[in-house]
Every structure is written in structure tokens, then in C-alpha cells.
Structure 1
Amino acid sequence: MQSQDVAPRPAPSSGAVVDVEQAEAALVEHYPRLVRLAYLMLPPGLGRNRRVLTAHALTQRALPRGRAAGDASVIPAQQSGDGDGDPGYAFVRLQVVRTALEAGLPLRRRAWPRRSQLPPVLPQVWGLRLFPRSGGADELALDQRLSALSGPARAAYVLRGLEKLADAPLRRVLTAAGVEDPAAALREASGVEARDALLDSPGFDPCSLQARPTDLMRRRRHTKAALAATAALAVCGALLALPGDGWGPDGAAAPSYARNPAAEAALDPARLERVAPTAWKSSARTDFSVWPARGGLVGDGALLRRALAVWARPGESVQVSATPGTPSGAPPGPPQLLYAGDVDQARVVLLYDGLRIARYAEPKDGTGGAALDFARVDGAGRAEASAVVLGRADGNVRYLTAPWVTGAAERDLLKPSAGAMDLALSADGSTSPLAGPPRTGTCTSWNVLQVEDASGTRLLTDLGELVPARLTTGRPTAPREAAGAQGLREWAPFACSLGSMRSGGVRTVNTWQYARQPLPDGSGPAAWVCTRADTWRGGGTRALAQFRTPGGTYGAVVAKAGDSPACGSRDPHVLAGVLWKSGAGAWYLLAAGDKDTASVEATGGVRGSATGPLLVVRARQGARAELEGTLTNGRDVTGLR
């Protein structure tokens, strides 16, 4: 990484006096924010574990040394950012910026290293590796862009995004921190797209951490003197044998001290399970267990060994992600090989252990940037095991399809009358790239994968995970595939609501029009739709009640529920309401339940009741009401909120 030299801190021309008590109070109050600043400014090449510990160490060392007024430190006045007007906060922030910049400087042969350039003495955590929660693709892309910046430019980007500093005070802070050319740093930082919201992501929070063990087997050994000496020698030997900047035998995997026969068998590429290409034709099961090993690199033993070793013990530089409820530990035995091949600019390996699919990816050249992703797929059937995401690049998605898939196409869910665009299927079952759904901005299209096999046609959508979600329509007790003409028409107004279901471990999403309600101004009937996402783990479900007026292009979400059986196969009933303004300016409370609703009652800010599933009551703008319904079998239902 290139870095500008940081000169000794110049004395500011004007400033405020701060003593240690002010600085300590500011540090304690704003500690999480200061640590986040340090973490983002440190060079990513340090590795996530060391970046976390170093960020905490630099922040904790930011206090002034003097306690008397005469020994107080002088700091430049600041005009914006958290702690605005607080000289104590401005001082400790400046110390964090200065030492974070020093930590990114290269070591020199003829000069003593600065304290911030060395691994921190404190804090230390023994037996665990700590790192922030895994972010999504946007956080990973931003981290990669920041790693390409110089230290001062990275500091400028972070201070501008997190502290909201304007250019003038930002130049003063950089100058006080010792940056020789603040203007150049600002220009370089401006070349990176502003993604300020991502800087507050949990993926960049070094105070909310995940922990992984390091060497469990060694720590279980007896503590007798002779065995302790033997263990110490083994550790020293292992540290001397650690690889430098290049790939070791296990690539980006952490070093192993265990000698467990079962664990070693799971890491042997020769023992990977490989299914015959035609096994799915005669098998009683049609799921991932009958996928054959495909791809141009299935014979690359070194690549497969690296993938297995990283799965068992991912190194600090590996980006690890898992869908909610998916364990990310080592495989219990030799997993099944699904794919190994080149995908765009990466080498990709897909493995399956009966519960999870693991995707290992490494760049075709270079030694960094390895990634490991997990998705839970237990209980998958023919429909859910139709495709897996091979890779995403430049807003496009490439899939690996099941061996029983005979055709693939791209379809825009917002345009039900438009035809599907055929996708080329290679000999190994991978598709040509198709445009993925929008992640930010206005939702003007929602592209999905359409697959065909002997059992029919189905639609799958990318929700940011390894396994795409299956789309269905109809009453929850008898859903049907959404690929038919009617299903496409039913999904079109509500496709953009899928954006709220990303990264939740979603297995299927069903949309169901449960009621039609004549509007009180005679403008026609409105449609009530429930869209429900079910997950692989069972919990974490999400139900959305949506309302669409006559002639409306899109539906509007008016109520939602999480971890509720409503609108699902176990409880196919739903009740929701909305305040609606007529063309004449009158406000109404509209509510609707499914056809099994015998009565609906509104209480609170709006009062009224009706027999049957539909309710219309005059209301005031901004009024709030509680909905209760009774089913034909006498059971009560509560309105979604």
C-alpha cells in the first residue's frame, strides 16, 4: 500500500487548552466512535484481528500525559463532527488520527519503529481471534476501495464520512495530524464514491465483535511442567514455520496445531465425495446430494486443499459470511464437491456437507482477498436445489444450475408481459451472467432467474446469498410456481418489496391476494396482498401486507410482522388496515381480512366494526387504530402492524 509520509505534528497557530480530565471524559463518552475511526483509518493489510486490537490500543493511548493546567495540551479548534465544541473530544480524535496514520507507515531499516507501528502490548486476548461482524458485498467493496488509498486519503474519506467535516476544518485536522499535503489527500479521497451510510455498518464496528478459537487442542493439554515445555517448543516451531506474504500450503487458512485423524481426513482433497454425473437420474432424491462434481478445476488438488483448509480454519484476512442460523465451523467429515472452476476473475470451489453449502473464492492472481460464504440448505427439494450463485461482478450474477435443469432465462419481474431472455448454459451447467436486482436507488426493474426442467418452470431471485429464493403465488396452504402468466401478473406490482428481504436466509417468498375491497369513493376495487418470506432455519420469517389502489403501478407496504405464523401454511389468515385519502380529500380507515374472516373491529383513534372481512370507517388524518378480527371458526386474529 502506498502511503504519504507523516511529518512531526506542527504546533497550531491557535487552539484551546484541555486537561486530562476533559480528554478522559470525551474519550469515555465517544469511545465506540473513536475506535471505529481508528479501525477504518488503519491499513487493511494488518488483518482484521490486529486492526481491532490496534484500534483499541491507539484510542486508549490518546489521553494527554500532563494533569496540571501548565502541562495541558494545546489543540486546534474544531467546527463539526460528534462532540462539536468539545475541545476534549477534538484532542483525542486528533491523537487517534495521528497515530493511525503513523501505524500505516512502512518500517525503516535505519530508524526505530514508532510505538503505533508495533503490535499493541495491550489490549491482548489469548486463545481467541476477534473481528467485526461480516458485512455484505457493499461493505467488502468499500473496504477494498479504502485499502487502495494512501493513509492520509483514507483518513480524509473517513473523517468526511463519519465526522461530517467540511473541507476547510478537515484540512486543519490533517495538517495538525502531520499530513504534508492535505489537499492531495482530499483529492484522492474524493475519487472514491461517497458511501457514508456504510461507514456506520456493523461490518466496521470494532466494538461489536465475533470471536473464534485459535488452538483448542493445544490448550487442552495438561499443564504439567514437562508437557508445558513440549507445548512451548511446538508453538515456537510453528511460528517460525508460518508463511510470509505468499501463499502457504493451505493458502489463506490459519496455521494448524491439531493432529486429529478425523479432522485431517476432512481436509484431504483425495477423500472429497464426488457423485457420478448421472446419479440424479436414478436417485430417489433430487437435491444437492446428487449434484455431480463439475468445473474445469475439479482436478486441482492444491486449490481444493486450500478451500478445505480455509473452511476448517479461516485466516484473519479471509472474509467470512454466513446466512442467519448457519454454523460456520469445519465440516464433520469429507464434504461433497459440487464445483471447482474459474468464474470471472476468481477461482471458485463449492462444497456441500449435507447441511450447508460453502463457497470458497480466491483471486486468480495475488495472495489476498479470499472469501468464504456459507448457506444453510438442509431439507432442500428439487425446486430449492435448482441453482447456486457462482459469483457476482459489476452488478451481474452468474449461477450454477442443477444437472436436471434443461434451460435458463432472465426475466424482469416488473414487466410480466415481456418475454424471457434465454441464457446460455455451459457444459458444466453455469449460466451466462444476468443483471442482478437493484441494491440501491430507484427500483425500476427486478431481474430473476427462470429455470426449466422436466417438472416445470420456476422463478428464483437473488437476495444477496448463495442460494436464490424460490418465488411462488397463491394461498399459503397450496402455493404454486410464479412462472405462469397469472403468477407473473400477481408479482409485478410487489416485486420491489423483495429488497427488504435481503440477507435473511430466505428460502421461499409467496405473494397472495387475499382480498379485494371496493373503495368508498366509487373509484374501483383495491387489492390487498400478503407477501411472506420463509427461511431455511424456520425462524426469522417476514410477512408484509400490501395495498394497491385501482390503476396503481406498485403496491404499498402498510403493515408487517416478523416471526409470525400469519399468512403462512400454519396460519393462512391475515388482517391489515390503512388510512386512505379519497380523491375528494376525505380520510378513511380501510381494513381487510381473508375470506375466512367473519367480522372486523377497529378501536383506539378510529372506532367501528363490520360483519365480514371488509371494514370502511371515516377517520382523521394521522389517526391510529387497533384492529381485531374474528374468524368463522370463532378464533380471534390481530391486525398486522
Structure 2
Amino acid sequence: MSSSDAATRTAPSAGPEPAPVVDVEQAEAALVEHYPRLVRLGYLVLPPSLGRNRRVLTAHWLTQRTLPRGRTTVERAMVPAQRGAGRPGCDPGYGYVRLRVLRSALEAGVPLRRRAWPRRAQLPPLLPQVWGLRLFPRSGGADELALDQQLSALGGPARAAYVLRGLERLPDAEVRRILEGAGVADPHAALAEADGVAASYELLGSSEFDPCSLQARPPDLMRRRQHGRAALAAAAAALVCGTLLALPGDGLAPGGPAAPAHARNPAAEAALDPGKLTRAADGEWRSSARTDFSVWPARGSRTDDRELLGRALAVWARPGPSVQVSATPGTASGAPPGPAQLLYAGEVGRARVVVLYDGLRLVRYAEPRSGAGGGAALDFARVDGAGQAGSGAVVVSRGKGAVRYLTAPWVRTVAVRDLRDPGSPARELERAPDGVTGPLPAVAPSASRGASGCAEVAALELREEGGGTRLVTDLGELTPARLTSGRPQAPHEVEGEAARAAWARTACLLGAVRSNGVRSVNSWAYATQRLPEGNGTATWVCTRADTWRGAGSRVLAQFQAPGEETGAIAARAQDSPACGARDPRVLAGVLWKSRAGHWHVLAAGSKDVASIRVTGGAQGAARGHTLAAPARKGAQAQLTGRLANGKKVPALR
């Protein structure tokens, strides 16, 4: 037999390559690994007409329904091009679940027909269901609002094409192939329509479009209560109507105290009239007995734009499903009770912004400059009881990690300070004649992870007429939080390098109190302690964040070891009076390891703590307000402090 015959016999016969097979385990692994990415893709492709709450729940529902029932042959459109090892697109399992998510999201946007059974994706999600709450991603800036508006104007296939290009980084040829597999009739037209979106693909990674990082707010509580009462009334309608007809009285009769249901409400009508908005005079704050938001003059380039003001009032009264509504905890988001006060109307970055005040709440309305309608945002913040210290600035714009403020008329100059660097001089911040500042960095939500998560923590320094200086910082809400130092009974402004140095090792923990309606944050070094084995001296700091509503305060006890850039949280509490004006006492402990490798339980209380005892995983007692006791790694101990009169002081938990 010749060598050529041998080669012929041993060469494999050419034939069609078998289609890849994905089993349920492979699909599940891809789903778990890339779940946030898949949910974001579904959220972006779903029709915006569903509203943000339903889009969030539907995106999670569609993604969780993508697993096959068993071993499944992968369609050609599910098999991605091999674009480099380790990328999600190279995994057939990921390609399978991605196409299932995309196909279901596109089906959800198909209108219902009378003579056709609805597809499963067109129905409200069975699970997950959240009762009594509205869930939506965190609001972004003007760029994200503009992108959301442009995506809302696209059809479902074009949205899918744009998202596959930008989020998945796929070339057009592969996008067309995936769209064909998802049932899109004309992928070329979808790509052409997606070309009209001018926004950067980087915006798709914003928290604005992240349905896995959510804010929770209550729905319209008054409407929910009314619906509940209406259901109860409907169950007993015959009995109630018969009883009312038989009873004497004129409560609902003509001439009774209640007006007919169709009667006009002059106050409600005036609240929607931009011509009825109240405005403070320019210099009223100089002579007024009050120094708060009520004496802010109306500023901005669009204070006379009745169309813009009318849209802001109409959206406040009746926000549509495309409006992004957010409110600080404890803040009502209902319609204005009467004519509000205009504080600002102008253009900030790429948005038109209107700021209103009704005596209890600040309301910010923002819409893209390219036009009104979709993409608007409405934010509420409770500010009742705000004095001069609490009404120095309002956030008018937030986006791309930076914020802009509208400052009070009594603020003479503004500057930026890095709380992490107390010795550095303040940087002057540009401010427009209408009181709007230039951008400055926002405190990142990841700041609570420690020094590695926040290289800089920017604070706004407000220098007021009369010489006063206040330090405030953005915690993700409409009003910045005021920063103070000192004992809880007499906190003072953060002025001077010593006061700023006390804040330097606490600044990175500000992220732990974000989005809680915080009014002020006080940091107080309540004890110092000499560490065992000559390891230096540690500082114990209590940081208390008080809210506008009173409830919901957060208390953090920190252990600041020598040489560490950031304090470690030793204990925390919610709704506790500890470390506050009502109860300035505090006691906390930590399990600490010396440089020699020995473990100790360390504890410290405020100055009026006369003795401390530790029990459980460590044993020890000490007179005075500090304690150090030997312990083992992982020991669980209980602390108890006592005052000089014998009264117990519980440890902060």
C-alpha cells in the first residue's frame, strides 16, 4: 500500500460541524456569572413605556427564565464569534442566555392584539413581586437623561442594536446575526436607526441603567389608601348605600358642609399656574427675621419662561410613567398644596432646571435641553426647620461623578476642600452670577470601603457675609449635609486645621450614611487609649448622622489605630440617641491584634464612663473609660460600662 493510499484512509472525512450543545449547568453558570450584565441588557431593551419600576422587575424576571429545561442545541445566532478568551461573548452558555433575554425583551414591546393570545413576556412578571415599594435605579446626570430620552424614541430592535454595540462591544455583523436569531425582521434597518443616537456608549455603564443597584421608595401612599378603602366600600356597597339613604342628616345633601365632588379647588388650580409662583425680593434676606429658603430670590436665566415653569408644575402635580421621581426618606412626593416659591430656573450643563420651595420641601425639576417630555426628573427633599446653617446650598446638577450647587444669596465665596488632606489650602471654585457653582467631585458610594475606595473626599466650603464659614458635602441627595465637630451638646463648624485634621480619618466613612436624608454629620473624638505592648496611642471617634425627619439617625463608632489612614468601624447603630445631644454617652469595643501577633479586646467610653467590664470570650475589668484585656482570635465578648452613680451604659451595637 502506497503512502498516498494510507493518507487517504486515515484522513477524516469532511462534513458539517455539529451544532454546539448547552446543558442546563453550563447555562446556569453563565447566568450566575454575568447576571448583572444580562439584567442591564434586558432593562435597556425593554420599552420605556412600562415605567421604571416594572422595567426593573420585568428585566429580572426575563433573565431568570432563560435557563433551558435540559440539554439544548444552540442556534447559529447564539454561537458568538471567538473574540478572545475570557470574554463573555466566547461562552456558548452566555450566548444562549443572552439571546433568550434579548428575544423576551423584544417580545415584551410587541403591542397586544385582540385576536391573538398574549406572549408570556407581554404579561406582568409573576416573580419577583414587591408590594408597597417602587424600585428604580439611581438617578444619573443630564447626559444619562438625554440618552434615556433618545433610547425612548427608538423602536425595540434599534434599542437592542444600540445596546449590543455599546454594552456588548459587538461588531455590526455579529449584531445583525443576533438580531436575526431574536426574530427581528430587518436588522439592517435597526442598525441604521440606532446610528441616530449621538450619546457615548460609556453612559450605558452608568448607575442610571443598573437594575441591580436600586433605590426603594413608597408608591403614592394616599392613592394606595384610597384604593384600599374603595375596595372595602365596594364589598359592602349595597348595605352602605341603603344605610345612607335611610339615615337623616345633610352631610352630603345640598347645603351641607362638604362641597360636591366636581367643585373647583382654587388653591389646587393656583398651584399649577406659573403666574402665581411667589418670589422673594433680591435683598429681602438682609432685613428678614428669618434666614432660610423662604428669603432666597428667584435666580436663573429662565425665571420668566412660563412654558418651562408650567411643565415643572404640571409634572410635580402629575408625574408621568417616564419621569424619574426620587424623594429623600420621610419626604412626601405629592402635589403642591398651593402656589410654591420659585428659587431657580435656568440651564445647567445639558439640562433645564427649576427649583421650587413650598415651605416644607425643596423640589427640583430637570429636563434635557433638547426638548421637554420624556427623560424628565423630579426630586424631593424635606427641609422643614432649616435655618441659615441648613439652607446654604442646593444641588442643581449631578452627573459623571460631579455635582453643581446653587448657593444662598448670603454666601460670599465658595471653595473646595479635600477632607482627606487637612493641610492643603482650599481651592477657589468658580461661581456664576446666578449663584450656580462649577462642578466638584461627589462623595463616591464606595467610600465606605476604606481609604482604598476614596483618594479624595471633596467638601464645599461656604464663606458667608459676616465672616462665618461652613463645610458641607454631597451625600447623594438634593441638599448637602453640614459637617461639624466637637461634643454633641455643642458642635461647632469645621474651621481651622485642627478641626479638619479630626475629620481626615473619618471622611472615607461618609459613604456609609448616603441616601438617608442626612441633615448634618458630627464627628467627635471621645477618647484616646494607650495600646498594649507599646503599640502607640489610638483614638476613638463617634460619628453621628442626623436626618431632616428626626428618625433614621445613624451612629458609627470608629477605632483609629496609629499609622492607619482611615478609622475602622467598631460599632454602628440605627435610631439610637447615643453620641447625640439627648444622650452624649458612648461605649464601643473592638478585637485588635498587636504588632507581636497577640489579640486583645479594646474598649473605650466617653469621659463620664467610670468603669468597663468585658465578659464572654474575654474577661477583664478596668476603672476609668478605657479597657484592654487579652483575648483569642475571633473571640465574642460583651461590654458593660457604668457611670460614677452606678448607672449602666450599654455598648453601641
Moved more, 35-44 or 359-368: 35-44
Amino acid at match of 1:431: T
Q: Verify: 1:44 aligned to 2:48, yes or no.
A: yes
Cα deviation for residue 425 of structure 1 reads: 3.1
* RMSD, matched Cα: 5.0
Alignment correspondent of 1:507: 519
Amino acid at match of 2:325: V
Distance in 1 (CA, whole Å) between partners of 2:145 and 2:368 is 16
Alignment correspondent of 1:448: 459
How does 1:292-371 map onto structure 2 within 5 Å?
A: 292-367=297-372, 368-371=374-377
1:530-552 alpha-carbon deviations (Å, 9 max, x no partner)? 11100001111111111112233
How does 1:101-500 map onto structure 2 within 5 Å?
A: 101-104=106-109, 132-137=134-139, 148=151, 150-151=159-160, 154=163, 177-178=182-183, 199=210, 201=212, 203=214, 210=219, 213=223, 260-367=265-372, 368-440=374-446, 442-453=453-464, 454=466, 456-500=468-512
Distance in 2 (CA, whole Å) between partners of 1:342 and 1:277 is 20
Moved more, 367-376 or 131-140: 131-140
Cα deviation for residue 351 of structure 1 reads: 0.5
CA contact (8 A) 2:146 2:368 kept: no
Secondary structure in structure 2 of the residue aligned to 1:382: coil
Distance in 1 (CA, whole Å) between partners of 2:475 and 2:215 is 22
Distance in 2 (CA, whole Å) between partners of 1:115 and 1:385 is 57
Q: 1:334 to 1:485 in 2, by over 3 A?
A: same
Q: 1:327 to 1:438 in 2, by over 3 A?
A: same
CA contact (8 A) 2:137 2:210 kept: no
Distance in 1 (CA, whole Å) between partners of 2:567 and 2:292 is 35
Secondary structure in structure 2 of the residue aligned to 1:570: coil
1:138-158 alpha-carbon deviations (Å, 9 max, x no partner)? 599879768757315647999
Cα deviation for residue 306 of structure 1 reads: 0.7
Q: 1:293 to 1:522 in 2, by over 3 A?
A: same
1:333-364 alpha-carbon deviations (Å, 9 max, x no partner)? 11111111111111111111111000001111
Alignment correspondent of 1:243: none
CA contact (8 A) 2:140 2:399 kept: no
Amino acid at match of 1:448: A
Q: 1:34 to 1:139 in 2, by over 3 A?
A: farther
Amino acid at match of 1:364: R
Q: 1:621 to 1:118 in 2, by over 3 A?
A: closer
1:35-59 alpha-carbon deviations (Å, 9 max, x no partner)? 9985554133554477479779989
Cα deviation for residue 484 of structure 1 reads: 2.4
Q: Which runs of 5+ in 2 are unaligned?
A: 1-17, 25-35, 80-92, 152-157, 170-174, 192-198, 238-261, 447-451
Q: 1:588 to 1:157 in 2, by over 3 A?
A: farther
Distance in 1 (CA, whole Å) between partners of 2:630 and 2:215 is 49
Q: Verify: 1:617 aligned to 2:629, yes or no.
A: yes
CA contact (8 A) 2:459 2:473 kept: yes
Q: 1:39 to 1:346 in 2, by over 3 A?
A: closer
Amino acid at match of 1:438: A
Q: 1:344 to 1:52 in 2, by over 3 A?
A: closer
Alignment correspondent of 2:537: 525
Alignment correspondent of 2:258: none
Distance in 2 (CA, whole Å) between partners of 1:259 and 1:34 is 50
Distance in 2 (CA, whole Å) between partners of 1:571 and 1:204 is 32
Q: 1:191 to 1:472 in 2, by over 3 A?
A: closer
Amino acid at match of 1:282: S
Distance in 1 (CA, whole Å) between partners of 2:264 and 2:224 is 14
1:390-436 alpha-carbon deviations (Å, 9 max, x no partner)? 11233222111111111111111111111111223332222222232
Cα deviation for residue 173 of structure 1 reads: 9.0
How does 1:585-604 map onto structure 2 within 5 Å?
A: 585-604=597-616
Distance in 2 (CA, whole Å) between partners of 1:464 and 1:14 is 47
Amino acid at match of 2:159: S
Amino acid at match of 1:577: G
CA contact (8 A) 1:57 1:123 kept: yes
Secondary structure in structure 1 of the residue aligned to 2:424: coil
1:276-335 alpha-carbon deviations (Å, 9 max, x no partner)? 111111111111111111111111111111111111110111000000111100111111
How does 1:536-615 map onto structure 2 within 5 Å?
A: 536-615=548-627
Q: 1:622 to 1:53 in 2, by over 3 A?
A: closer
Secondary structure in structure 2 of the residue aligned to 1:466: coil
CA contact (8 A) 1:97 1:155 kept: no
CA contact (8 A) 1:104 1:117 kept: no
Q: Calculate the TM-score normalised by the size of structure 2.
A: 0.72
Secondary structure in structure 2 of the residue aligned to 1:210: coil
Distance in 1 (CA, whole Å) between partners of 2:275 and 2:499 is 46
Amino acid at match of 1:281: R
Q: 1:388 to 1:586 in 2, by over 3 A?
A: same
Determine which of 629, 633, 641 is the counterpart of 2:645: 633
Identity of aligned residues (%): 53
Distance in 2 (CA, whole Å) between partners of 1:622 and 1:215 is 49
Alignment correspondent of 1:229: none
CA contact (8 A) 1:139 1:203 kept: no
Secondary structure in structure 1 of the residue aligned to 2:534: coil
Cα deviation for residue 377 of structure 1 reads: 0.4
Secondary structure in structure 2 of the residue aligned to 1:500: helix
Distance in 2 (CA, whole Å) between partners of 1:509 and 1:615 is 28
Distance in 2 (CA, whole Å) between partners of 1:196 and 1:446 is 20
CA contact (8 A) 2:271 2:338 kept: yes
Amino acid at match of 1:375: A
Structure with the greater alpha carbon radius of gyration: 2
Amino acid at match of 1:369: G
Distance in 1 (CA, whole Å) between partners of 2:436 and 2:141 is 27
Q: 1:258 to 1:546 in 2, by over 3 A?
A: farther
Distance in 2 (CA, whole Å) between partners of 1:16 and 1:113 is 36
Distance in 1 (CA, whole Å) between partners of 2:65 and 2:601 is 59
CA contact (8 A) 1:48 1:131 kept: no
Distance in 2 (CA, whole Å) between partners of 1:54 and 1:522 is 59
Distance in 2 (CA, whole Å) between partners of 1:309 and 1:197 is 24
1:176-196 alpha-carbon deviations (Å, 9 max, x no partner)? 6447989x9xxx999676579
1:65-84 alpha-carbon deviations (Å, 9 max, x no partner)? xxxx9xx99775999xxxxx
Cα deviation for residue 558 of structure 1 reads: 1.6
Alignment correspondent of 2:251: none
CA contact (8 A) 1:516 1:525 kept: yes
Q: 1:611 to 1:315 in 2, by over 3 A?
A: same
Alignment correspondent of 1:235: none
Distance in 1 (CA, whole Å) between partners of 2:414 and 2:276 is 33
1:5-31 alpha-carbon deviations (Å, 9 max, x no partner)? xxxxxxx9576999xxxxxxxxxxxxx
Q: 1:139 to 1:449 in 2, by over 3 A?
A: closer
